[in-house]
Structure 1
Amino acid sequence: MLRSLLLLVLLALGWSAAAAAGPPTVPGRFALKLKPGQQPAALEMALRTLAAREVRQKFPRTLPPNIEKPGSVDLRGIYQFQVPTTVSLERIRTVLLATGAVEYVEPLYIRYPQYQPNDPLADSTLTSLSKSQYYLKQIKAYRAWDITRGDSSIVIGITDGGVRMTHQDLRQQIKRNYADPINGIDDDGDGYVDNFNGWDLANNDNDPGYDIKIIHGSLVAGVSSAHTDNGVGIAGTGNKCRFLPLNIYPNTANGNFAGIEAVVYAADHNCKVINMSWGSPGGFSQLEQDAMTYAAVNRDAVLVAAAGNTNADLMFYPASYEHVLSVSGVNSTDQKSPNATFSHRVDLVAPGISILTTQGYHAKSGGGQAEADYIAVGGTSFAAPLVAGAAALVRWKFPLLSASQVAAQLRQTTDKIDTLPANAAWVNRMGTGRLNVFRALTEPSQEARVMASTFVPARAVYLPGDTIRLSVAVQNLLQPIAGLTVTLSSLSPHITVRQGTFVAGDMASLAQSNNARNPFRVAVASSGIPLNTTAILRYHLTGSDGYESEQFVEIVLNPDYVVLDANDLKVTLTSRGNLAFDDLFGTIGTGVTYRGSGNILSEGGLILATSSTRVSDRLRTRYGDTRQSFFNSAQVVRLQPGPRADQEARAMFQDTIPAAGGLTRSVGVAVRQRAYAWSSPGRRDFVVLEYTLKNLTADTLKPLYAGLFMDWDVPTQDGSARNAAAWDDTRTMGYCYALGQQNTPSLPAIYAGVQFLRGGSPTAYSIDNNAPLGSAVSLADGFSPADKFMTLSSGTSQSNVGLPDGTDVSQVIGTRIATLAPGDSTIVAFAMLSAPTLLQLQDAAESATIAYATTLLPTRPSARAVDFTLYPNPTNGPLQVELPKNFGAAKVQVLDMTGRLIKSFPVAGTQFETSLVGLEPGLYMVRAIGATRVVTRSVLLR
């Protein structure tokens, strides 16, 4: 029944079972954090560009960082804002980060309550357990209460669903704010009117009580804080400690999930312990981590969170954040609960099966008193408040311990359960053991802990063959440790530790040490690593006095993308045709940068099409989704050096082969992608992309269109999206630039574009990303297959956009291949380019043409064709040129003997005249570039 009620509520809030794959976000609502010293005025134009509204400081009353508390954070620079739901996260990030004033931009995640109600009648084996608080004996709570029963001055913040305020076992345990009685006035000046009983952060009112049919808050509060010695019901582990109810789930149309807001509120309102029995797999958020750090470091609160009910080894947030005690679950015999999350990030476990607690579903009785209802429930949601209650007792017994020391004491006084045969499959992934409250209150303990791990180079992922330096900062949190040594080892066959010992020596309580002068050294295997592998490194901390503990750190290896960074233009290429990033969130990949800039390409990738319905790509479509046409048949790899360039990338992918007689949406083409980058002077501003396209179908593709969609975001001085896009027909190049660029040291000017190099007839289509609905192409309602086909098949008729005022622009630079027979292949090639000025971009295009023709076309017909003539030769300047017959349209270039381009011009016929007058006497090379071959001749200028 409870499960059904919760499901109905989640569906009403717009959640679904599919959300279990990852945390959903609040539509259109985002947060940003200003860099230190920056003011919100610096973002005014950028926010206006995004049509942002409801911009407000998210935590205006929080404490500033404290120099005496290393690692404390500043939440005052975080702002929340609303944008149209059609604006992508990567677009928002690109525009705001380009201002140089923003540290990060993130969506607001929605996290779930973590419980699994057990009907005690459903399982006869649990009947006896479900009618008693067996777990209090298991965690030695009765013996602990002989030491201390806590005190009402210690408050546990219950950030959860609404709490049934009238329940006989809860109503006297609520921490009232007598400084702000309910009178319509903010008596205590904290910004919250009448927050006498806590606060409803989700709906922004002063009633955190039972006004929504998510009873989770009542269940959790009872575990940690049910009234003891009142002759009825149950006893909370926190005994005399109070709790502050903070609702985080919406029950109004304007409400929003408010988990991190509740954590900050609890920290600011003197909660010494904060419980979070909610979360979801994945979705790391720096905003959420900042909130946890603020509560734990700035405000010295012990943070306790449920590790999740996933029965999987994964990161679960907020439990997996730094400064948070991650609590998983066991049954009455200390065996891992069937659905409990297990991972190296779990800190400890507590009973999480058939936990008898206060129920919040029943209504008041006729006499106005709440019915004395209780229920046995299960899940890590109820293991966590057992630990929160224990933390409250430790805080009262040892008032001088900091939050991090309290967490250490709880970790180091657990009862070991890894040795139980039933737990053999989860060794080292259930934390230090099962909670023992008595030991936590009575045993002096030791814990040295790696507080920070610093990787150099600092990357989100590491490639095969990488070498890494790893320095650690270690602190002794509890009793002195003699002769501390930290030993690094690898639990992955793909990581080799080459230097893995750090001798920290004798460490007094709260002493710190690091190995920055002699860091650990590790190496990534050069081959054989599966895609997106998570490798685990283990820290083994030992003391000469017998102390021993372990910690773990994870790194991701061999991502499904590579970065070409040999020159000034750094480009991410994926295994399935995308550029910059492999997802719309901008999290998989490193983007495209130029000379140290921020990312300048919001989204990019290959499009293939034969009609408005047969289109293949992995780009945005409607409703914020991406199409998934391509699947990789060979992972993208980087060669350094490559056979023909300083860096090369290779990948193979294809779409599906259309079914005969079926509804055909795919094109049916296999793609071999190659990319080339050079570090030599004159070739540092471009990367060449070459695609070999093979027709896999039984039909001739006529025509076949291929092109690159590029959503450029060139940064502007004022943070606006005042960009324009243009087409250079002479150089077959589309490019984008910002209006009013000043080319300052703090924000160098950038021109960025794509040049068509080879294969078919060039096409170019420039898009105003802000075009209203009803326009020929409007990205406001997505980028449909019909839109993509139009941009490829319209020639160059719509090749310029953005003048005179500028706008947010995209371009599709492509080609039309007249026919491609079954089984046949063709090659199309482009160059991605960037430069500080238009003139330099044009030079880069000329250099890319030469590089492709001279370096990447070695198998073309002989360069010294006998029917290509120059006369007179030697010459005093005038020069007659005759091209081979049927050479077709060509581009002719004059180069000096160092390969430097002197001049370039298009020609249509096979005979013409040019002049070398004005050049220094010497030997020059004349090159003609046709559609299928390149021919050269040297000429001597007297």
Structure 2
Amino acid sequence: MRISSSLLMCFWLFSVFTTLANDGLKKKFKLPAGVTAKDIVPNSLIIKYKNISTAATRSVQNNIASGKQKIQFLKHEPVVKLNRIYELPIQKQLALDKVGLNKVYEIEYRSSQSIENVINTLLEQEEVEYAEPRYIYHTSSEPNDPFFQQGTQNHLLRVNAVEAWNIQNAANGQIIAVVDSGADLEHEDLAANIYLNNNDPVNGIDDDGDGYIDNYRGWDFVGASFTNGRPDNNPDIPSDSLDHGMHVAGIASAVANNGIGIASLAKDAKLMILKAGSDDNATAIYRGYEAILYAVNKGVKIINCSWGGPGFSAYGQDVINFAVSNGCLVIAAAGNSAKEGLDYPAAYNGVLAVANVNNSDIKSSSSSYGFDVDIAAPGQNIWSTLNNDTYGTKSGTSMATPLVSSAAALVAAKYPQLSGPAIGEILRLSTDNIYTLSGNSNFVNKLGKGRLNIAKALESTPAIAIRKQNIILQDNSDGVLAGGDTVELAIDLKSILGNVSNLNVTLSTDNPDVTVITSNLVLTQLNQDETKQLGFFKVFLAPRTQENVEVIFKLQYASSNYQDEEFFALRVNLDYLNINENQIATTLTSNGRVGFSAQDAQNGLGFVYQNKNLLYEASLMIGNSTSRISNNARAPQIGRAEEDFLKITRPLKEIDDTNVLVAASTFNDYSSNSPLDVQVINKHYAYKNAPDDKYVIVEYLIKNNSIVPLNGLYVGLFCDWDIDNSEENIVKYRPDKSLAYTYSVNPGNPYTAVKVLNTNASVQFYPMSYQLVGDILEDDSFTRAEKFTSLSSGIFKTELGESLGGLDVMYTMGVGPYNVASKDSIQVAFAFIGGDNLNDIILSADAAQEKFEGLQLFESEPVLKFEVSQNYPNPTKGNTFFDVALPEAGSLFVDLYDITGKKIKQIYGTALMGSGKHTISTTLNDLSAGIYFAEFQYRQTKQVVKLILTN
């Protein structure tokens, strides 16, 4: 593993009815792209067990404590305490059990390992469903604008607050949970609206039995410091630097009609202040999801989250699922990255995501945007409450979000019977269109349905709201959604609000390479809170469809009294095929890589054995010099890879029967700056029955498409295996088996191996590790010259890592040199093997060799006529070569003449040479520099080649 490489992460939100789904296969955890040390709490994790029992949790703790990593749990507590569950209504208990939040634990640990290694150790435990960091999210406001004229609240006028108050004058005590950095509970314009839990007054006793002592005015989930503090009953902020939550609270529900300060849209909504940050960090949100859980269990319908970050959390999505199932509306800030793509929790399914526009309804320059945004609201230079009875401005999606929460409280006051998600839909469907404004022309449909209009929401309440819940796919290309295929889509639709009959659903896309064949379907009846599947839509992907492209689809809903639309994205025309036919699961790509199509272990399964992915990288390298080496291994630039190979045909299954699956792809090296001009057919053979079910044969048929020979050609794979802790691996080479095998110093882990199967060239093996001084990878850079060195140095070492107690080992494994005539081809094949121990590996290696020798995998192209190539090199200093093609066996003689026509000597002669292609050599060191002619006589035919000899 390259520890300094940045990782990319894309999260699929769709379920697929194909064998592409690798159910039960645990992938190695990598920190998501954009997440750094500042975004995670050190030595703290969230884990979810598959089943809760004392034996299961103790088994996990004992296993990881006794391993070499010696991971020790210092804290192991359920996120939802059992004594709190018993106090919940039966409906909430059932909801907790269904989502599985009663199986989620927070742990603090001690270990010398990296957080990624600790998580991967936990993921290897059978009892663990997921393990992930405790992400730190950050508040989403911009710095104050010092030139702004204080005292104006144009944002209220922009959303038609005055007209709204004529319809619904106040929120009538509806509760808004403000999950943030805390608030000044005594502020002159907030104090009267702070929610008070009269069932638990401040007396040192948990009067209401909910597990929180004296949670009278909210709760502080972190305390003075995340590392040294403790949760307490004081969400009041100790300093001005923590006034983010204070500003948010004022927008949500500052006291109105009190003759001082500001007004809020909701006027008198109660504010449940839930402090999820620490006193010593003004922007970090550590326990936002616990605060959301608290609000849900207290029966709060509207939950404001003016914070976010890049870290997707399965625990976070579980919490949102629980909130939605209990009728809560979670409203979250889209983020202030100024880029397409939302922060979490705004990006989770079920959250109402809010973008920021200015008072002209133009997207704020800092606001994040995307098709997942639900609604926009003013958030620029918003005047609100600050610490110690003061006021000021802040900007950002953090400010737009509580304005939407405040509006939600007014709608909830008018329609108390509605669920939170239904209230969110009313707000979304009542917005004003802002896409006709020129300033938003680049963001059409990426700022939600439109800008908040609370008067419209209260005056003409929508009666129906439909939202997709899931996309189901079926295709004819094993889940790759390939160009040229017809894909079928089914959609799970839920009625959030109202009953609907004869709902017309239309699917469309603006992508010119995608044609929706079946574009309209009708759902005859859908009742409120009901979910039904509608399908199938048929979609044709043109053969020219861009590889791995993300296609945006639009769903339009229409009935007699309802119209709406929403969007979703699908990544199509994948350049890889997952193969899971025996005890090995791996991926055939269209660029020669094995296991993953893209760098940094992306797009594929890797190499899975014993339900563990053991491979980080296996990249193809073909070259004959330090300057001409076509490859897609990691690049000299950290975090990048060479991409010299260009797809010709995507992976396709050729055979799939009860015994074997054979799949193939084709590519060339035309993306290289100095191509060799080769075309490669890459095949995978996966046998389904013992003794051949623990390996996959990976074959490369390499054709020289150039008009000159490729001499001194080497072919190999750069491999980076990660078994258990990647920094405790050993690799060894067995010359008698042409086999490189890798294993962990920790017992009980599987072995992996790569075996060279063809025997017509010398095996090359070069182990390496960036952890060694003087190693070829020490600088974390892998140049083309270094790649060729690793590919052409014979058996450089036969072992690496054993004497040092293990290393993060990599190696190049290959064969060569080959001399490949123009239009000729060579075959190179490897067996990728998984096993329980070395003996298991050897048995599979022998079986793979026997299987390979019994296959007619490659046939040379027939020779149709007598041909002789130009000698190479030319000019030559003495040693030179000729390629000769004979259609039938026969005699061949070669005589050398000088420029006057005088015969100098015979340089080759045989009475019988077999049919086919041959390479002959000669030495001319005894001759003077000059021009010579080589005359080839085959049977009764002659060919002459002019050559130049230099000193």
Query: What is the TM-score with the length of structure 1 in the denominator?
Result: 0.70
Aligned partners of 2:688 and 2:35: how far apart in 1?
A: 51
> What's the counterpart of residue 473 of structure 1?
492
SS of 1:243's partner is strand
> What's the counterpart of residue 663 of structure 1?
none
Among candidates 352, 374, 384, match of residue 347 of structure 1: 374
Aligned partners of 2:781 and 2:311: how far apart in 1?
A: 28
Among candidates 551, 554, 558, match of residue 542 of structure 1: 558
**Cα contact 2:189–2:389 (8 A) shared by 1:** no
**Cα contact 2:505–2:555 (8 A) shared by 1:** yes
> What's the counterpart of residue 466 of structure 2?
449
**Cα contact 1:759–1:828 (8 A) shared by 2:** no
Aligned partners of 2:826 and 2:614: how far apart in 1?
A: 27
> What's the counterpart of residue 572 of structure 1?
587
Task: State the AA in 1 paired with 2:390.
Answer: A
> What's the counterpart of residue 16 of structure 2?
none
Task: State the AA in 2 paired with 1:293.
Answer: N
Among candidates 595, 602, 613, match of residue 599 of structure 1: 613
Among candidates 313, 319, 333, match of residue 306 of structure 1: 333
Q: Label 1:480 to 1:166 Cα distance change in 2 as closer, same or farther (>3 A).
A: same
Aligned partners of 1:760 and 1:382: how far apart in 2?
A: 68
In the TM superposition, what are the counterparts of 1:89-104 in structure 2 within 5 Å? 89=116, 95-104=121-130
Q: Does 1:428 align with 2:445?
A: yes
Aligned partners of 2:669 and 2:830: how far apart in 1?
A: 19
Aligned partners of 1:611 and 1:266: how far apart in 2?
A: 66
Q: Does 1:640 align with 2:652?
A: yes
Q: Does 1:111 align with 2:132?
A: no
Aligned partners of 1:535 and 1:394: how far apart in 2?
A: 36
Among candidates 513, 516, 523, match of residue 497 of structure 1: 516
**Cα contact 1:29–1:80 (8 A) shared by 2:** yes
**Cα contact 2:465–2:497 (8 A) shared by 1:** yes
Q: Label 1:21 to 1:99 Cα distance change in 2 as closer, same or farther (>3 A).
A: closer
SS of 1:492's partner is coil
Among candidates 352, 368, 371, match of residue 325 of structure 1: 352
**Cα contact 1:352–1:379 (8 A) shared by 2:** yes
Q: After superposing the two structures, state which structure 1 stretch, 430-439 or 185-194, moved more.
A: 185-194
Deviation for aligned residue 1:777: 8.8
Aligned partners of 2:459 and 2:110: how far apart in 1?
A: 54
Q: Does 1:74 align with 2:80?
A: no
Among candidates 675, 679, 702, match of residue 682 of structure 2: 675
> What's the counterpart of residue 907 of structure 2?
none
Deviation for aligned residue 1:319: 1.6
**Cα contact 1:94–1:600 (8 A) shared by 2:** no
Task: State the AA in 2 paired with 1:319.
Answer: A
Aligned partners of 2:532 and 2:375: how far apart in 1?
A: 26
Among candidates 728, 738, 741, match of residue 732 of structure 1: 738
Task: State the AA in 2 paired with 1:35.
Answer: K
Among candidates 691, 694, 697, match of residue 687 of structure 1: 697
**Cα contact 2:630–2:669 (8 A) shared by 1:** no
> What's the counterpart of residue 566 of structure 2?
551
The CA deviation string for residues 691-742 of structure 1, in whole angstroms up to 9 with x for no partner, is 9799x9xxx999989543231548xxxx999998664433212235799999
**Cα contact 2:178–2:245 (8 A) shared by 1:** yes
> What's the counterpart of residue 545 of structure 2?
529
Task: State the AA in 2 paired with 1:246.
Answer: L
Deviation for aligned residue 1:467: 4.1
Among candidates 60, 64, 75, match of residue 43 of structure 1: 60
Among candidates 189, 193, 201, match of residue 169 of structure 1: 189
> What's the counterpart of residue 915 of structure 1?
none
Deviation for aligned residue 1:73: 1.3
Q: Label 1:439 to 1:627 Cα distance change in 2 as closer, same or farther (>3 A).
A: closer
**Cα contact 1:238–1:393 (8 A) shared by 2:** yes
> What's the counterpart of residue 920 of structure 1?
none
Aligned partners of 1:148 and 1:690: how far apart in 2?
A: 72
Q: Label 1:414 to 1:256 Cα distance change in 2 as closer, same or farther (>3 A).
A: closer
Task: State the AA in 2 paired with 1:306.
Answer: A
SS of 1:116's partner is coil
Task: State the AA in 2 paired with 1:795.
Answer: I
> What's the counterpart of residue 628 of structure 1?
640
Q: Does 1:286 align with 2:314?
A: yes
Among candidates 401, 416, 419, match of residue 418 of structure 2: 401
In the TM superposition, what are the counterparts of 1:806-821 in structure 2 within 5 Å? 812=811, 814-815=813-814
Aligned partners of 1:22 and 1:617: how far apart in 2?
A: 33
Task: State the AA in 2 paired with 1:358.
Answer: T
Deviation for aligned residue 1:174: 2.8
> What's the counterpart of residue 415 of structure 1?
432
Deviation for aligned residue 1:181: 5.2
Among candidates 249, 257, 260, match of residue 286 of structure 2: 257
The CA deviation string for residues 141-190 of structure 1, in whole angstroms up to 9 with x for no partner, is 23433444556753322222343444322344333445555566655554
Aligned partners of 2:285 and 2:701: how far apart in 1?
A: 46
Unaligned segments of structure 2, at least 5 residues: 1-32, 656-660, 864-884, 892-911, 914-951
Q: Label 1:852 to 1:511 Cα distance change in 2 as closer, same or farther (>3 A).
A: closer
> What's the counterpart of residue 219 of structure 2?
198
Aligned partners of 2:790 and 2:125: how far apart in 1?
A: 30
**Cα contact 2:587–2:606 (8 A) shared by 1:** yes
SS of 2:101's partner is coil
Among candidates 289, 300, 305, match of residue 276 of structure 1: 305
Q: Label 1:611 to 1:484 Cα distance change in 2 as closer, same or farther (>3 A).
A: closer
Task: State the AA in 2 paired with 1:198.
Answer: W
Aligned partners of 1:620 and 1:260: how far apart in 2?
A: 38
**Cα contact 1:631–1:653 (8 A) shared by 2:** no
Q: Does 1:842 align with 2:845?
A: yes
Deviation for aligned residue 1:322: 1.1
Q: Label 1:423 to 1:712 Cα distance change in 2 as closer, same or farther (>3 A).
A: closer
Q: Label 1:506 to 1:706 Cα distance change in 2 as closer, same or farther (>3 A).
A: closer
**Cα contact 2:558–2:564 (8 A) shared by 1:** yes
> What's the counterpart of residue 918 of structure 1?
none
Deviation for aligned residue 1:199: 1.0
> What's the counterpart of residue 795 of structure 1?
795
SS of 2:373's partner is coil
Deviation for aligned residue 1:453: 2.0
**Cα contact 2:359–2:378 (8 A) shared by 1:** yes
Deviation for aligned residue 1:550: 0.7
Aligned partners of 1:224 and 1:303: how far apart in 2?
A: 14
Task: State the AA in 2 paired with 1:78.
Answer: V
Task: State the AA in 2 paired with 1:261.
Answer: E
Q: Label 1:28 to 1:470 Cα distance change in 2 as closer, same or farther (>3 A).
A: farther
Give the share of equivalent positions with the same residue, in percent: 26
Q: How many residues align structurally?
A: 798
Q: Label 1:72 to 1:389 Cα distance change in 2 as closer, same or farther (>3 A).
A: farther
Deviation for aligned residue 1:542: 0.8
Q: Label 1:825 to 1:630 Cα distance change in 2 as closer, same or farther (>3 A).
A: farther
Deviation for aligned residue 1:385: 0.6
**Cα contact 1:497–1:521 (8 A) shared by 2:** yes
In the TM superposition, what are the counterparts of 1:876-891 in structure 2 within 5 Å? none
> What's the counterpart of residue 7 of structure 2?
none
Task: State the AA in 2 paired with 1:76.
Answer: N
Among candidates 360, 363, 385, match of residue 358 of structure 1: 385
Task: State the AA in 2 paired with 1:405.
Answer: A
